[in-house]
Amino acid sequence: MAADRPIIHVDKPLTRAEAAVVGDRATIVGPGDDTLAGVTASVIGVGHQWDAARFARFPELRCLSRMGIGYDNIDVAAASAAGVMVCNAPDSPTVSTAEHAVALMMSITKELPIQQARAEAGERGPAVATSLELDGATLGLVALGRIACRVARAAQGLGMRVIASDPGLSESPVEGVELVDLERVLETSDVVSLHAPAVPATRHLVNARTLARMKPGAYLINTARGALVDQDALADALDAGHLAGAGLDVTEPEPLPVGHRLLGRPNVIVTPHISSSTAVGRVRLFEHAFENALRALTGGAPTVVPEQT
């Protein structure tokens, strides 16, 4: 290992493109490398829980750099006690996650899983027309951060009316998006898309009571955090026919156990928390997190912002 290079730990094997980002600027160790002496930074995803015991394995660690937004798998208090700076890459997953949210919305409202099953069964032509035409429909966004703003603009391009609930905003950052309260989002939206962070106040924000407030026949999209939704209450609302469908990239737990009520349903699409995983997006996540680590180690200012989706 070159003496003048920082030793940076990673929790997954690097792709060729990610290795090219590193070049000769650092020595990379891990994953599965127990030679942790000299490691001063770690670039991580969500593969491990970082608690006091794990920090103790990295005695010289100065920076823990997340490839993403949230700190769900990091005990921040334990990091502070260990003298480790925690930073994140909030802008990196914006494009890919927003595109995935729109893809889920379009796929489930157009009943693509149902229509694919019909085609595979040898059916032809239209069945009963129950899919939603998005032009003129209302999209309600719960929180209006980076990703939600991009979803809003895409929805406007489809001719949708967009409203949003975000108690942290006094005015909308997207022209044409009206800020309203959560109750109005639930009651008037044909599609509700979740973009709030996972904090104690938002745990099971979507529950039996709030689902009952949603417009009959509406759709729910969640690319934010699984903890925002009471999964059983969502399944109940779908069973009752109150909701027409749901598109989920995040669940609680992840993955859902085999046989879970939300799996195998023709009106629910579940993807395995991959909304940021485009080929370009994954490299962008790593690059931002790696650059953050280098800045932290050289006295610069890495990105350290609260979770916002």
The set of catalytic residues is: 225, 254, 273
In the block, which residue shows the tokens 């699409």? 269
CB 28 within 8 A of CB 8: yes
* Helices 112-120 + 94-109 axis angle, to 10: 60
| Phi, psi of 169, rounded to the nearest 5 degrees | -115, 140
For residue 174, give the DSSP letter: S
What single-letter DSSP state applies at residue 206?
A: B
**Which contacts (CB < 8 Å, 24+ apart) does range 24-27 have?**
25/294, 26/290, 26/293, 26/294, 27/1, 27/2
78 with 55: CB under 8 angstroms?
A: yes
Q: Which of 178, 107, 166, 196 is nearest to 139 (CA)?
A: 178
44 closest CA partner among 75, 23, 20, 17: 75
CA dist list (Å): 277 to 20, 150, 305: 18, 17, 22
CB-based contact 264:49 (threshold 8 Å): no
User: Among residues 200, 90, 101, 191, which one has the least CA distance to residue 148?
Assistant: 101
130 closest CA partner among 207, 190, 189 = 190
